[in-house]
Structure 1
Amino acid sequence: MRGFMTDLAPSSSLDIRTEISAAYTAWDSAFNQADAKAVAAAYVPSAKVLPPTHEVISGPAAIENFFAGLFSRGFTDYNLTIIDTGGDDKVVYSTAHWSAKGKGADGAPQTAAGLATHIFERQADSSLKLRLHTFN
């Protein structure tokens, strides 16, 4: 699943921003294809997802199930837009605006949006995987 991973060396904040932008593009693509398994592959095995429901979602199976639930409710057209990035050769972070389209409880189309924080861990091959993902 190389799509979520980048091979750029962490030499500057511009490079980190480029890495995160590539990771976001791949994540958005997997989400918009309703591919819960591919979305879950973007996270380290012990990752946490903290949605606005106050749940703590941990591990690949739970993360995959969480996103599969969103897809079953018709969420698509996901987009992440970077606000800020930073980090070092081991841990990289980003804050972002997010938006998606879905259906409300009544089945009517709705747009959802908010802010997200992402903490990435650099893997042995220099790629990035998510350790923490929280959003409102």
Structure 2
Amino acid sequence: MTNSAPSASLDVRAEVIATYAAWDSAFNRADARAVAAAYVSNAKVLPPSHEVISGPVEIENFFAGLFSGGFTDHNLEVIDAGGDEKVVYSTAKWSANGKRADGSRQAAGGIATHVFERQTDGSLKLRLHTFN
């Protein structure tokens, strides 16, 4: 009897890494619409401000606000990932650059938690995204 769990978890990790790369790419192009498209229609984003951001319009507006504030150079680095054919979860270290009031660059970063729903085409879309 062979155990397929290790390869399954590696496949999920690889899927999350690819999904993160696409998300980071959209963020770093300052494309709020493309970032919002990475979420299911009833998704929630829970930022450190304690806001509850729901749905595509609010998510797009939230990220557009970050872009207008000068945030760029976003990077997600997987800490852990797992799941099954329906739901995938991951934790990540995130980093980005923002701007201070004087226009100088300021590094930002923290930890993020993501819950993805697998779509009918096999892709992953975010259902829940929280970060500090």
Give the TM-score normalised by structure 2: 0.93
**Count of aligned pairs:** 126
Q: Tell me which structure has the larger Cα radius of gyration.
A: 2
Q: Does 1:23 align with 2:16?
A: no
Counterpart of 1:56 in structure 2 is 52
Gaps of at least 5 residues in structure 2 are 1-6
Match of 2:84 among 65, 82, 88: 88
* TM alignment of 1:1-136, pairs within 5 A: 12-136=8-132
Identity over aligned pairs, percent: 75
- Give the secondary structure class of the aligned counterpart of 1:67: helix
Gaps of at least 5 residues in structure 1 are 1-10
Shift of 1:89: 0.8
Distance, in Å, in 2 between the alignment partners of 1:113 and 1:104 is: 15
- Give the secondary structure class of the aligned counterpart of 2:49: coil
Runs of 4+ aligned structure 1 residues displaced above 4 Å come to none
Distance, in Å, in 2 between the alignment partners of 1:93 and 1:106 is: 38
Counterpart of 1:8 in structure 2 is none
Give the TM-score normalised by structure 1: 0.90
